[in-house]
A = this chain, B = another copy of it.
Amino acid sequence: MKPVTLKEIAEQLNISVTTVSRALKDYPDISKKTKALVKELALTLNYRPNAFAVNLRTKESKTVGLIIPEIVHHFFSNVIKGIIAQAEEKGYLVIILQSNESYEMEKKQIQLLLSQRVDGILISLANGTADYNHLTDVIAQDKPLVMFDKIAKIVKCSKVIIDDRKAAYTATQHLVDTGCKRIAHFRGALLPQNSIDRFLGYKKALLDNNMPYDPSLVYICECGDNSFEEGKMNARQLLNDHKDVDGIFINTDLVAIGAITEFNEQGVKIPEDISIVGFSNWFMSSVISPTLTTIDQPGYQMGKEAFKQLYKEMQQVKNKEPIVFESIVLKTELVKRQSTK
């Protein structure tokens, strides 16, 4: 019942552990005959190298950690899928942790992963994260770290992102192009960089079109567990405050869908009375009515790229080369649907 070890194989064949180990890995200094013998016995005994021992010797576990704010989330689950797919291709396993948008959690989880001695860490920051010592800790240990989507510009490490500012600009410009005169913005939480960038893109588009920027038209939502509800609330508030608004650029699809639902219930016509552009292109956005114009954000690809970069860095560490950081920016696309004219 005990798992079979190199030693047992060695004893059965009357050779040394060393030879067995090397035979199994096709070292050139083992004769074809012994290699064949060893491999055959290993097969019949169903030998499996003890990963714990291998890890201890080689100081690597072929495992990476992934910290993500929320798993039940169309965009993020696509990212996860991409990461896992790419990791599997390279022979790595992925440990997933969910920060629940909490900085404290995130910190604890980074420590956990470091204790576990994963070979590298992938992370998308929680909304509440404003200090980065837990991350610089990782970097100080020369442990590869790649941030994606929700990043911190200050931290010196590789990043995989989209050009949020440009995408938001495009989205807002689309509202302008389709005739909107007064455009509101539902932005995400205050801290995250992508929330800031999307806001800046929105603002820039307004100014470039000679439209006044009115802070009272910018609504904040935490974009946590109840994004949908926040979308509804903000929509209701907007109807109260600003009856003249005829277009909204919304930070993320789920909030936009909340808003659409509210408008539908209140009898506000989309896009006749109000046009809406979302962000992320959740699958849901293509099936609600009206279907939602949005920015397609390539989650799966982002996951793949993030792992690829992490892999590169892990190789660099293995080869005792210095880690070179890269910033990868992925393309986004405006998907026009019924919620805009």
Select A71's contact among B52, B77, B289, beta carbons within 8 Å.
Answer: B77
CB–CB B81/A71 < 8 A? yes
Q: Is A98 an interface residue (CB 8 A)?
A: yes
> How far is B284's CA from A288's CA once the two chains are assembled, in angstroms?
8
Chain B residue contacts of A112, Cβ below 8 A: 93
A59, closest chain B residue (CB): B52
Q: Given the complex of chains A and B, what is the CA–CA distance between A188 and B150 in angstroms?
A: 37
Total residues of chain A contacting the partner, CB 8 A: 46
Separation of A77 and B74 alpha carbons in the complex (Å): 9
Q: Across the interface, which residues of B come within 8 angstroms of A289, CB to CB? A: 264, 288-289
Contact partner, A94, options B3, B73, B85, B95, Cβ 8 Å: B95
A51 to B72, CA, bound (A): 30
Given known A-B contacts A52-B117, A93-B112, A288-B288, A84 and B98 have beta carbons under 8 A apart: yes
- Check if A110 is an interface residue, CB within 8 A of chain B: no
Chain B min CB distance to A51 (Å):
5
By the criterion CB–CB under 8 Å, are A116 and B77 in contact? no
Contact A84 B55 (CB under 8 A): no
Q: Is the CB of A50 within 8 A of B117?
A: yes
CB within 8 A of A49: which of B48, B88, B115? B115
Beyond A84-B71, A84-B97, whether A116 also contacts B51 by CB under 8 A is yes
Q: Is A78 an interface residue (CB 8 A)?
A: yes
Within 8 Å CB of A51, what residues of B?
A: 115-117
- Check if A52 sits within 8 Å of B49, measured CB to CB: no
Judging by beta carbons under 8 Å apart, are B95 and A48 in contact?
no
Alpha-carbon distance between A59 and B3 when the two chains are bound, in angstroms:
11
Choice from B49, B52, B71, B88 contacting A61 with Cβ under 8 Å: B52
Q: How far is the CA of A1 from the CA of B85 in the complex (A)?
A: 33
Docked Cα-Cα span, A76 to B220, in Å, equals 30
B-chain residues with CB within 8 Å of residue A3 when the two chains form the complex: 141
Given contacts A81-B98, A95-B95, A96-B94, contact A48 B114 (CB under 8 A): yes
29 chain-A/chain-B pairs, Cβ below 8 angstroms: A1-B142, A48-B114, A48-B115, A52-B55, A52-B56, A52-B61, A52-B117, A53-B56, A55-B55, A55-B56, A63-B95, A63-B116, A71-B77, A73-B77, A80-B96, A84-B96, A84-B97, A88-B97, A93-B95, A93-B97, A93-B112, A93-B116, A94-B96, A95-B95, A96-B96, A284-B287, A288-B288, A288-B289, A289-B289
